[in-house]
Amino acid sequence: MWRILRPFLLVLFLILVAPWGYVLLEGWRFPEAFYMSLITITTVGFGEVRPLSEAGRLFTSGLILFGIGTFTYAITHTTSSIIEGRINESWKRKKIMDAIRQLVDHYIICGAGATGKWVIREFYKASKPCVVIERSHKRIEELCHEFPELLWIEGDATEEEVLLRAGVKQAKGLLALLSSDADNLFLIVTSKGLNRNLHVICRAKDEKSVDKLLHGGADRVVSPAVTEGVRIASLALRPHVMDFLDVVVYRGEDLLRLEEIPIPAGSSWVGQFLGDLDISHRTEAIVLGMKMKEREAVVFNPSRMTLLEEGDVLILLGTEVQLQQAKRLIREGAEPADGPVTLSETG
């Protein structure tokens, strides 16, 4: 903005200062001097207000040349700034679209309102790739200020063309956070039509819409009213449990967190018992639960004799370091090279 305003401030400065030349050289009153300076700088072609002395004419000649140069500079500088800005914006958009086209198994966040902002922050904390679709240019600018590397598309998330630009066919999941349940329902149907395997999580503003959104194809539906009610009641009835969960889920200080780690295809742990991993001893992360591939429910505190299969998901509790060690252990099928992590090492 300052680059665009600077030449016009120079023109304004010239218009305000030039009259004093006529006041000092010709002894004119300021209104006359101001009028003479204005018609001279703008080169409108009017005659002299009063006959000028030789010094006054020399001053006027210099003022004409300086005025033309200043106006030319202002117009040229402003035009180049606008063109440069458009080129930079075009280059930035191309860079973002190139990055989106390379994404696979990413998430698409539709709607960047109050809820959407928190969702984006959590994705950034977890370093998970995501693309944001938002109609409001102002909201996008605010998000880009907070998240400089944000991948975004300005447009209507219910339109197929916009979803395709966001890479919906290669995406792992979609979060429907639009302002109305009707828009969210249309978004679910459209996105599922483009990618049947897309995992869709939807927010329901009205409790009555939950079943409709599920029937429309949403895999999970969150009702803020229900979530807030349960949380408020839990804070009153079980405050210490909620304090612990806040540390684990919201990770305000990165002390502890929950993580899910799948057993990958081709892992040497497939067909072995959970106790063979000995995660608690090797990493000091705690196995809280396990989502087995062939079972719908999550098994709490699975037995050491539980047989591991490809696609099973372990739910672990630990520090960032401990969880990274556990991921490496499961991915490589061997104990981490730097050995088990102790509590004293993690602080």
pTM above 0.75, yes or no: no
189, 211, 228: which is the final residue of a domain?
228
Same domain, 186 and 280: no
Q: Is residue 84 part of a domain?
A: yes
Distance from C-alpha of 113 to C-alpha of 178, rounded to nearest angstrom: 8
The CATH number for 129's domain is 3.40.50.720
Residue 230 CB neighbours (<10 A): 10
Distance from C-alpha of 231 to C-alpha of 242, rounded to nearest angstrom: 8
Same domain, 205 and 307: no
Q: Is residue 47 part of a domain?
A: yes
Q: Is residue 240 part of a domain?
A: no
pLDDT digits (tens, 9 = 90+) for 4-17: 677 777 778 888 88
The CATH number for 46's domain is 1.10.287.70
Same domain, 81 and 192: no
Same domain, 136 and 211: yes
Q: Taking a C-beta distance cutoff of 8 angstroms, is the pair 193, 218 a contact?
A: no
pLDDT digits (tens, 9 = 90+) for 21-47: 888 888 888 888 888 888 877 777 667
77, 96, 115: which is the final residue of a domain?
96
Distance from C-alpha of 93 to C-alpha of 310, rounded to nearest angstrom: 40
The domain in which residue 140 lies consists of: 104-228
Distance from C-alpha of 53 to C-alpha of 61, rounded to nearest angstrom: 12
Distance from C-alpha of 35 to C-alpha of 41, rounded to nearest angstrom: 10
Same domain, 193 and 260: no
Average pLDDT over residues 141-158: 93
Same domain, 117 and 213: yes
Q: Which residues contact 7 (CB under 8 A, 6 or more apart)?
A: 70, 73, 74, 77, 78
Same domain, 164 and 137: yes
Same domain, 136 and 71: no
Q: Is residue 246 part of a domain?
A: no
46, 68, 96: which is the final residue of a domain?
96
Tell me which of 265 and 95 has the higher pLDDT: 95
Same domain, 89 and 110: no
List the single range of 50-59, 103-112, 182-191, 338-347 with lowest mean pLDDT. 338-347
User: 256: pLDDT confidence band, cut at 50, 70 and 90?
Assistant: confident
Q: Is residue 239 part of a domain?
A: no
Average pLDDT over residues 314-326: 90
Q: Which amino acid is at 141?
A: E
Q: Is residue 247 part of a domain?
A: no
Q: What is the phi/psi pair of residue 79, to 5°?
A: -60, -45
Q: Is residue 179 part of a domain?
A: yes
Distance from C-alpha of 111 to C-alpha of 179, rounded to nearest angstrom: 8
What is the chain's mean pLDDT, rounded?
85
Structural domains of the chain, count: 3
**DSSP reduced 3-state for 78:** helix
Q: Is residue 38 part of a domain?
A: yes
For residue 94, pLDDT beyond 80: yes
Same domain, 88 and 115: no
Same domain, 114 and 214: yes
